[in-house]
Structure 1
């Protein structure tokens, strides 16, 4: 194993550890803004993967770019669905008003 590979592996493991520690320390109230920020980062990777897929650098680059576009798009769509679900938890429930009670009595 070369020195470059060893350093890259070390940086990858360190990034995983720091990411795990960061996520576990975030209070639940901040998860929605955090998800929105990670969706923005996924959107950037989606644009980069579309550039790679359309760069005409060869069959392998186009195939890998297409896989990257599909993966990034799934990540963005899934992230927006999760954020929408999280925001729905904060919506207020409709309360019974005087007009609502009168409408229910007429039925």
Structure 2
């Protein structure tokens, strides 16, 4: 039971820390920051999958599953935003095409 509380404590601490760090980033830097950290989201997903594989109690499994879902959504969103950002810098052919 102690490991469950430790896992929950770490999860809540990470969520709070992440919120505090991101909320202090200026709005103009959010897109470059997200596109530059897509590899970190992938590592988060792999780490959450490893933790989920070692989960023993239903609460640990739920927290691990939630971590995998959030990490995957974050990674997919980061790649989508990066793609949209890169499309803004494509040169349009001259001649109205």
Q: Report the TM-score range of the alignment, normalised by the length of the smaller protein.
A: 0.5 to 0.7
For the residue of structure 1 that corresponds to 2:90, the secondary structure is coil
TM-score normalised by the chain length of structure 2: 0.65
User: 2 CA distance for matches of 1:58 and 1:42?
Assistant: 25
Structure 1: unaligned runs, 5 residues or longer: 1-8, 101-107
Q: Show CA shifts across 1:23-71 (max 9, x none).
A: 22x8x5x655422222222222111111111114222211111111011
Q: Structure 1 pair 96/43, CA: closer, same or farther in 2 (3 Å)? A: same
Runs of 4+ in 1 over 6 A off after TM superposition: none
TM-score normalised by the chain length of structure 1: 0.60
Query: Based on CA coordinates, which of the two structures has the bigger radius of gyration?
Result: 1
Q: Structure 1 pair 31/54, CA: closer, same or farther in 2 (3 Å)? A: same
Conserved in 2, the CA contact under 8 Å of 1:32 and 1:87? no
- Partner residue, 1:43: 42
- Partner residue, 1:67: 66
- Partner residue, 2:75: 76
RCO comparison, higher one (Cα < 8 Å, 6+): 2
How many pairs does the alignment contain?
82
